[in-house]
């Protein structure tokens, strides 16, 4: 049976999964400090080092299994939908207008598909949900808020590779300054980082969101409020998105989804309040059970779709 590889590239790890259909049959994880490589080298040198690391990790797998057809990669950055160049990567500073799809394909002699990592996660969740006729919105609450949209069985990437940048929907006019340059974006409130900032603002104490979650479970008012702000802002953004795309399925993933119980009530109240009456109770919110594998799976499925 044909196999495809799905790769998830993070700032510190490179995860490679071999998939037979939806089934993960082999996985390797390589420590690859791409962020550090980018910070410590010129963009040209950094790019060659990153490419070499990916090729060295892939070659033994590809050469030992002739059933492997193509490779899909979820990459943390904006991908130009036409040229497939990486337009910008906030986590891999300096890299710009490099073409991972083209360069890697040439080096390992296989078809390669590169897509934004939140989009591959959305596509993976779509396949796991197994409701092919439903559209799906994925919201990944991690360091930032990554998101993706599947409509009519296809990933929607937009004309500039920026469709469904839900994390940058402005929910607080003149709010916190965001990495994108605007103020008040939802990812400044509804991500793990956002929860930490809300808690810091209230207490002057800097804690990771996992510690704030523990305090919230013990009834700490400031910690509970930090999660309430996350829930309110996320609900606001999602209700607006639903009014534009009108899909029934929403999957919440990313590190912060472990604390969903702290957000759920506030989220559902605000979400239902902001939706139009005709849409209330028609949207299913599911918490991801993919344990970080959705990105690899979605990348492998995109590779599989690319068969001529």
The contact set with Zn ion (CB under 5 A) reads 168, 178, 180, 182, 185
Which residue in the block uniquely carries the two structure tokens 């082999």?
26
> Which residue, 15 or 168, is less far from Zn ion as judged by CB?
168
The nearer residue to Zn ion, 189 or 199, going by C-beta atoms, is: 189
Q: How far is the CB of 182 from Zn ion (least distance, A)?
A: 5
* CA atoms of 261 and 63, how far apart (whole Å): 45
Residue (58 or 185) nearer to Zn ion, CB: 185
Measured from the CB atom, the residue of 180 and 258 that comes closer to Zn ion is 180
8 Å CB contact between 16 and 27:
yes
Q: Which residues are registered as beta bridge partners of 249?
A: 136, 284
**Shortest distance in whole angstroms from residue 185 CB to Zn ion:** 3
Shortest Å distance, C-beta 175 to Zn ion:
10
Question: By 3-state DSSP, what share of the chain in percent is helix, strand and coil, each rounded to 5?
Answer: 45, 25, 30
Of 149 and 237, CB closest to Zn ion:
237
The crossing angle, in degrees rounded to 10, of helices 260-274 and 221-245 is 40
State how far the Cα of 177 lies from the Cα of 170, in Å rounded to an integer: 11
Q: Decide: 222 and 126 in contact? Cβ < 8 Å.
A: no
Considering the complex, what minimum distance in angstroms separates the CB of residue 76 from Zn ion? 15
Tokens in use for 84? 């497939």
Q: Whole-number minimum distance, CB 188 to Zn ion, in Å?
A: 7
């Amino acid at each position: 049976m044909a196999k495809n590889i799905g790769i998830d590239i993070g700032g510190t790890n490179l995860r490679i999964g071999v998939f037979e259909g939806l089934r993960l049959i082999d996985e390797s994880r390589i420590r690859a400090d791409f962020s550090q490589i980018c910070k410590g080298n010129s963009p040209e040198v950094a790019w060659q080092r990153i490419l070499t690391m990916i090729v060295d990790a892939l070659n033994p797998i590809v050469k030992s299994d002739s059933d492997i057809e193509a490779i899909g990669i979820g990459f943390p950055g904006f991908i130009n939908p036409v040229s497939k160049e990486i337009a910008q990567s906030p986590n891999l500073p300096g890299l710009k207008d490099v073409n991972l799809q083209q360069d890697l394909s040439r080096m390992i002699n296989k078809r390669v598909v590169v897509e934004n990592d939140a989009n591959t996660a959305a596509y993976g969740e779509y396949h796991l949900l197994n409701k092919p006729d439903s559209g799906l919105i994925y919201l990944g609450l991690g360091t930032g808020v990554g998101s993706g949209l599947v409509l009519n069985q296809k990933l929607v990437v937009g004309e500039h590779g920026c469709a469904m940048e839900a994390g940058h929907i402005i929910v607080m006019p003149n709010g916190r300054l965001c990495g994108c340059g605007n103020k008040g974006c939802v990812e400044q409130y509804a991500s793990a980082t956002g929860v930490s900032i809300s808690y810091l603002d209230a207490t002057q104490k800097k804690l990771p969101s996992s510690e704030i979650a523990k305090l919230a479970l013990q009834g700490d008012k400031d910690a509970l409020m930090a999660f309430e702000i996350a829930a309110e802002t996320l609900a606001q953004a999602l209700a607006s998105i639903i009014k534009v795309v009108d899909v029934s399925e929403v999957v919440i993933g990313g590190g912060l989804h472990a604390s969903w119980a702290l957000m759920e009530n506030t989220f559902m109240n605000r979400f239902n309040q902001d939706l139009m009456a005709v849409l209330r109770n028609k949207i299913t919110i599911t918490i991801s059970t993919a344990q970080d594998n959705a990105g690899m799976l979605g990348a492998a499925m995109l590779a599989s779709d690319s068969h001529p």
